[in-house]
């Protein structure tokens, strides 16, 4: 399901006592988890962890894109779910039953994403990748801002709007040729071959994650020695389980998120700072001349 769809569901408040993930014992933890009170020291510790790590995986969620003006749709007041029940518009069943309603709902989001620019956090992660300090980004976001910031190794586990697939003949198309008439006239994209509706390749409710990408994400999580969770509250399964795979490999964890996550207590360092300020500060410390 889409990362931003959990909040208005009945189960949005995950009861941590029922959260049935068994946390492995991590023998490698260097630091006690702490909420950042002296950012400089924490930033240095985080930078040191990154520098001494062999394989760094960054897991990003909606929180990294809010400074770019893309609302976290799980946040109160974003308005989107107060007007629409996501199950009525953004599930696979709803899409097949009433694609017009789906595309009418999606339009605001597509405009929002088209107008957004990568922020300092996206850019800093791309810089870390180019410098060899980040090996892969696993993102729950569908906004493509990591790519636009220059990151190359990005696993979009909830898909993207970059391509569309025909629901009848399964032909895949780049979305570029359909966007203009959709945004300007509300024209629903249709398959040039068979005339059926095209579905954006984003993961809707009731849909599985893209199989190959999800396998790669799991393998990356299992092989990393440092995972940085960046702007994700880790509330949407199965992606929320990836940090556990990292812990099973005795990886270190850094959490950068404004609110509590279930994995905080197992993290080496927890930051509550604004990602667009913190990630560049860490990157600057890592790549210091």
Tell me the catalytic residues.
Answer: 158
DSSP letter for each residue of 194-253: T-PBEEEEEPPBT-PPPHHHHHHHHHHHHH-SEEEEES----STTGGGHHHHHHHTT-EE
Q: d(Cα 144, Cα 71) in Å, to the nearest integer?
A: 15
Q: Is 126 in the site for Zn ion (CB under 5 A)?
A: no
Strand-strand pairing, 226-230 and 56-60: parallel
Residue 197 CB, nearest approach to Zn ion (Å): 9
Contact 214, 101 (CB under 8 A): no
Separation of CA 266 from chain center: 20
Omega before 238 within 30 of 0, i.e. cis: yes
Contact 264, 107 (CB under 8 A): no
Structure tokens at 266: 């197992």
Question: What is the total residue count of the chain?
Answer: 289
Nearer to Zn ion, 194 or 219 (CB): 194
Residue 150 CB, nearest approach to Zn ion (Å): 34
Residue 168 CB, nearest approach to Zn ion (Å): 5
Of residues 131 through 160, those in contact with Zn ion by CB under 5 A are none
Sole window of 32-40, 79-87, 120-128, 191-199 interacting with Zn ion (rule: CB under 5 A): 191-199
Residue 212 CB, nearest approach to Zn ion (Å): 22
Nearer to Zn ion, 28 or 168 (CB): 168
Nearer to Zn ion, 69 or 177 (CB): 177
Nearer to Zn ion, 170 or 211 (CB): 170
Contact 59, 138 (CB under 8 A): yes
Residue 191 CB, nearest approach to Zn ion (Å): 3
Residue 178 CB coordination number (10 Å): 18
What is the pattern of x (binds Zn ion, CB under 5 A) and - over residues 160-179?
A: ------x-xx-x--------
Nearer to Zn ion, 115 or 193 (CB): 193
Residue 103 CB, nearest approach to Zn ion (Å): 16
Which residue of 106, 121, 126, 191 would you call a contact of Zn ion, by CB under 5 A? Answer: 191
Q: Is 192 in the site for Zn ion (CB under 5 A)?
A: no
Q: Is 193 in the site for Zn ion (CB under 5 A)?
A: yes
Q: d(Cα 185, Cα 249) in Å, to the nearest integer?
A: 51
**The three-state (H, E, C) secondary structure of 68-97, written as one string:** HCCCCCCCCCCCHHHHCCHHHHCEHHHHHH
Nearer to Zn ion, 8 or 165 (CB): 165
Sole window of 45-53, 61-69, 187-195, 249-257 interacting with Zn ion (rule: CB under 5 A): 187-195
Strand partners, 91: 205
Positions in the binding site for Zn ion (CB under 5 A): 166, 168-169, 171, 191, 193-194, 196
């Amino acid at each position: 399901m889409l990362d931003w769809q959990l909040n208005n569901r009945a189960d949005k408040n995950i009861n941590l006592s029922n959260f049935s993930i068994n946390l492995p014992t991590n023998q490698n933890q260097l630091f006690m988890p702490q909420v950042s009170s002296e950012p400089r020291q924490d930033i240095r510790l985080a930078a040191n962890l990154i520098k001494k790590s062999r394989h760094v995986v960054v897991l990003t969620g909606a929180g990294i894109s809010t400074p770019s003006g893309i609302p976290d749709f799980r946040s109160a007041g974003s308005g989107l779910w107060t007007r629409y029940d996501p199950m009525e518009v953004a599930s696979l069943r709803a899409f097949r039953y009433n694609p017009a309603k789906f595309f009418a709902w999606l339009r605001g989001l597509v405009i929002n994403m088209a107008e957004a620019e990568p922020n300092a956090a996206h850019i800093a992660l791309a810089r870390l990748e180019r410098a060899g300090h980040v090996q892969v980004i696993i993102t729950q976001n569908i906004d493509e801002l990591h790519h636009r910031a220059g990151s190359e190794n990005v696993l979009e586990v909830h898909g993207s709007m970059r391509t569309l697939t025909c629901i009848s003949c399964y032909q895949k198309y780049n979305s570029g040729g359909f966007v203009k008439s959709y945004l300007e006239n509300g024209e629903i994209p249709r398959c040039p071959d068979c005339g059926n509706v095209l579905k954006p390749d984003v993961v809707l409710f009731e849909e599985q994650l893209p199989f190959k990408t999800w396998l790669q994400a799991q393998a990356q999580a299992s092989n990393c020695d440092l995972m940085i969770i960046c702007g994700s509250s880790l509330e949407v399964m199965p992606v929320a389980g990836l940090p556990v795979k990292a812990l099973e490999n005795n990886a270190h964890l850094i959490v950068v998120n404004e609110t509590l996550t279930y994995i905080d207590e197992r993290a080496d360092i927890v930051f509550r700072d604004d990602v667009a300020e913190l990630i560049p500060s860490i990157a600057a410390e890592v790549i210091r001349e």
